[in-house]
Amino acid sequence: MHWDNPGFRAGGPLLGAGAGDADLPTETDTEMPALHSAHAEDNPFYSASTLPYHLPPFDRIHETDFAPAFDRGMAEQQQEIEAIVTNPATPDCDNTLAAMERSGQILARVSAVFFNLAAVNATPGIHRLETELAPRLAAHHDAILLDPRLFARIDSLYRRRGTLDLDAEQKHLIERYHTDFVRAGARLSPPEKDRLRVLNARIAELETEFQQRLLKASAAAAVLVTNRDDLGGLTPKEIESAAAAAERAGHKGKFLITLQNTTQQPLLARLENRKLRRRILRASMARGTHSGATDTRPVVAELVRRRAERAQLLGYPNHAAYELADSTAGTTAAVNEMLGRLTPAATANATREAAELQQLIDSHHPGFRLAASDWPYYAEKLRRARYDYDESEAQPYFELYRVVEEGVFYAASRLYGLKFNRRTDLPTYHPDVRVYEVFTADGSPLGLILTDYYAREGKHGGAWMSSFVDQSTLLGTRPVILNNLNVPRPPPGRPTLLGFDEVTTLFHEFGHALHGLLSNVTYPTFSGTGVPRDFVEYPSQVNEMWATWPAVLKHYARHYETGEPMPQALVEKILASRKFNQGYATTEYLAAALLDQAWHQLAPGETPSADALESFETTALERAGVDLPYVPPRYRSPYFAHLFAGGYAAGYYAYIWSEVLDADTVEWFKAHGGLERSNGDHFREEILSRGGSADPMALFEAFYGAKPDIQPLLQRRGLEPGDGSG
């Protein structure tokens, strides 16, 4: 059975100029259209879309379609599950598990569209329905997962799996279902199941409430600037974007600095006004801490407590132990050991970097100590001095859609033989969205990828991948994938120029997209990114390597006005500076990952109240040894959406865990000739096509030929003993 609600699908991440004439709203709309057919059977979710690849018919979807489709979808799946559990035939893979995989198609269709739109194009109506649906969907899934008749059939298959005629994917499916049902509480007593249902419903409500409060808090925290002179150091493009954002918000003639989801904000690297830098960082770090509808702290406190109670009910000491038992890491001890191993070297590097920045401050502006809001600005100055490199030099060579089409897509064509054809004849949910049809090397249709790269009101922050349709040979479906970024929209007529970090993010998110597009599994449960949380980032991190691969970089890094390739001297500066500031980057990440574990390794009765949230956070960072005043965590608890709304609870360590596999894989590609079709085919065959259909570490070892080695990661991050790179 395939959970399409991202809150329920354990393996499927919402991983961090338009075509069509969809009726869905633009950023100026407040509601989706209220129009609706008088005939309920016209609801577009009641039957499969007739568009290519079952792309949702966005031009026919109205906000009023969602609620009845959810009602019918849940009712239909309940009937389908009832037919399975009352089937008198001996349970087998087809009449039980394959039947479950086929169930709930209406619910799958409406969930895919609704939860994607809630993330990218939310309206007040969608928020209201999201709040209403959270406990209902939790109850619906509990009704299935806690049905003793259904578990009896699954348990029978599990006990007999060695005697059945099964292929490898079927055997793994039986094991996966059995694990999922046991972890969901199938072996609990009836009173315990009743308590679990209450907890699941409340947790679902809280996760939805956190996301909605955070969306409001982030919008409210935008910093309004009245004097253009205060924006000294920003590029004309950045100032124009801030002016356009202010005008959209009703502040014509002023400048609005909107916040990205992380603690540090990109503009701080260039803003000369120290007071404004401090003001922006304070606004960023205060998100979710003001009383009222934007205060996320009560939600965090209760959510952590409820998760701990649920974990204990299910037989685990804490929520982290529960989550990690079904990961490649396996235990809290394994995660703590890795994070603890990396922390001393990272903080030592960050401390050395801080001393270098203080020297720079003393030589130019003596009289103040380095603060967190100063770090990006002086780090950028030091980068320029050390490498003669200013990131703004590179931006004219990174025009958004040239990077996408001549870089990201080009690398995929070289590695996997893929071809991309833009479709302007298909409807989308917003004019920002572009649709590309993807073909294999022999011209066979593979799927669609939708790209949605601009920030706007009603869209979650960050970057991620999700899907509208998942690949499955059982269902006969090909993938429809969505990639999201939050790039500031330039003024009309101006190009969208990226920083190199944004370029890397494009390649990263497309790595997730490849995991979905190149999936070749039978069962939708295993499709694409349906893998453990600490494995899902691995293919996307590998794909980042092609951003700087010489043949790829040369192909896309061209000046947006002249078409001239990026000068080799500038390329070398970018490459030389890549280890720069890694002590800071690693420490801010580790601080967030350690904070995640601190929250979720609490037992019931140990969780703090909302009023004690900040003091808990401070103590946790001190105990972990990452309480550097000039290196705040990448996310603080009140705006840590990965943990409290995004499916990464107790799993934020996954990025560094996956990076071990990534670093090994990069070395493998280099040793085998790099950007070669044979290498791409090997990675596709052993990793990308397999989804979650086998043990992930077995897949890695089949690809790599050995167990993972942490040494390449330590070298990459400058964390080896005695490594003096800054």
Residue 179, token pair as written in the block: 């694990």
**What average pLDDT score do residues 610-633 get?**
97
Tokens 């808090």 label which residue?
Answer: 217
CA distance 415 to 427: 30
Q: Does 9 map to a domain?
A: no
What pLDDT score does 461 carry?
87
CA distance 352 to 586: 13
- Identity of the amino acid at 586: T
What pLDDT score does 714 carry?
87
For 605, the domain range is 297-389+580-652
CA distance 601 to 655: 19
CB 600, CB 649: distance < 8 Å: yes
Q: Is 72 left (phi over 0), alpha (psi -120 to 50) or beta?
A: alpha
Q: pLDDT (tens digit, 9 = 90+) per residue, 543-578?
A: 999 999 999 999 999 999 999 999 999 999 999 988
Higher pLDDT, 460 or 633: 633
132 and 164 both lie in a single domain: yes
Does the structure show a pLDDT above 70 at 369? yes
**CA atoms within 13 Å, Cβ hemisphere of 156:** 15
CA distance 715 to 721: 10
276 and 322 both lie in a single domain: no
CA distance 589 to 383: 20
342 and 377 both lie in a single domain: yes
Q: Does 711 map to a domain?
A: no
Of 101, 209, 391, 509, catalytic: 509
Tokens 């879309």 label which residue?
Answer: 49
Question: Pick from 602, 624, 652: which residue ends a domain?
Answer: 652
Residue 173, token pair as written in the block: 């499916």
- Residues of the chain with pLDDT > 70: what percent? 94
CA distance 379 to 577: 11
126 and 193 both lie in a single domain: yes
Weakest-pLDDT range from 36-45, 479-488, 648-657: 36-45
Length of the chain: 726
CA distance 211 to 408: 30
What pLDDT score does 40 carry?
61
Residue 721, token pair as written in the block: 């003993």
Q: List for the chain the helix, strand, coil content (%; round to 5).
A: 55, 5, 40
CB 604, CB 304: distance < 8 Å: no
Please choose, from the candidates 504, 511, 537, the residue with its C-alpha nearest in 3D space to the C-alpha of residue 654. 537
CATH of the domain at 404: 3.40.390.10
First to last CA, the chain: 48
CB 57, CB 22: distance < 8 Å: no
Q: Does 292 map to a domain?
A: no
Does the structure show a pLDDT above 70 at 65? yes
Q: Does 504 map to a domain?
A: yes
45 and 188 both lie in a single domain: yes
181 and 266 both lie in a single domain: no
Q: Does 10 map to a domain?
A: no
523 and 608 both lie in a single domain: no
What pLDDT score does 364 carry?
87
Cβ burial, residue 444 (10 Å; 0-12/13-18/19+): exposed
Q: What is the DSSP string of 14-75?
A: ------S---S--TT-SS------SSGGG-TTSS---SGGG---GGG--GGGHHHHHHHHHH
CA distance 593 to 656: 9
- With a CB cutoff of 8 Å and minimum separation 6, the contacts of 94 are none
Q: pLDDT (tens digit, 9 = 90+) per residue, 254-308?
A: 999 999 999 999 999 999 999 999 999 999 999 999 999 999 999 999 999 999 9
C-alpha angle 719/721/725, rounded to 5°? 55
Q: Does 272 map to a domain?
A: yes
478 and 416 both lie in a single domain: yes
pLDDT bracket for residue 166 (50, 70, 90): very high
What pLDDT score does 662 carry?
96
CA distance 102 to 466: 21
What pLDDT score does 391 carry?
83
pLDDT bracket for residue 131 (50, 70, 90): very high
Q: Does 6 map to a domain?
A: no
Bridge partner residues of 225 (DSSP): 255
Q: What is the DSSP string of 204-248?
A: HHHHHHHHHHHHHHHHHTPEEE--GGGGTTS-HHHHHHHHHHHHH
**What average pLDDT score do residues 516-521 get?**
98
Cα–Cα distances in angstroms (integers) from residue 11 to residues 3, 301, 492, 646, in the given order: 9, 25, 39, 12
146 and 173 both lie in a single domain: yes
Strands, sheet with 445-454, edge to edge from the N-terminal-most edge strand: 419-423, 434-439, 445-454, 480-487, 464-469
pLDDT bracket for residue 36 (50, 70, 90): very low
SS3 of residue 445 by DSSP: strand
**What average pLDDT score do residues 204-218 get?**
96
pLDDT bracket for residue 721 (50, 70, 90): low
58 and 138 both lie in a single domain: yes
Active-site residue, 614 included: no
Tokens 């509990």 label which residue?
Answer: 142
82 and 115 both lie in a single domain: yes
Question: Pick from 652, 679, 704: which residue ends a domain?
Answer: 652
Q: What is the DSSP string of 342-388?
A: HHHHHHHHHHHHHHHHHHHHHHHSTT----TTTHHHHHHHHHHHHH-
Q: Is 115 left (phi over 0), alpha (psi -120 to 50) or beta?
A: alpha
CA distance 539 to 535: 8
CA distance 170 to 176: 10
Does the structure show a pLDDT above 50 at 104? yes
Q: pLDDT (tens digit, 9 = 90+) per residue, 151-165?
A: 999 999 999 999 999
Residue 237, token pair as written in the block: 């493009």
CB 613, CB 638: distance < 8 Å: yes
CA distance 715 to 698: 25
- Residues of the chain with pLDDT > 90: what percent? 88
What pLDDT score does 204 carry?
96
Question: Pick from 519, 539, 559: which residue ends a domain?
Answer: 539
What are the two backbone dihedrals, phi and then psi, of residue 451, each rounded to the nearest 5 degrees? -115, 135
Average pLDDT, the chain: 92
CB 409, CB 420: distance < 8 Å: yes
CATH of the domain at 127: 1.10.1370.40
200 and 267 both lie in a single domain: no
What pLDDT score does 723 carry?
47
Our count of domains for the chain comes to 4
**What average pLDDT score do residues 226-250 get?**
93
**What average pLDDT score do residues 568-591 get?**
94
**What average pLDDT score do residues 377-391 get?**
92
Does the structure show a pLDDT above 50 at 1? no
Higher pLDDT, 68 or 42: 68
Q: Does 545 map to a domain?
A: no
pLDDT bracket for residue 100 (50, 70, 90): very high
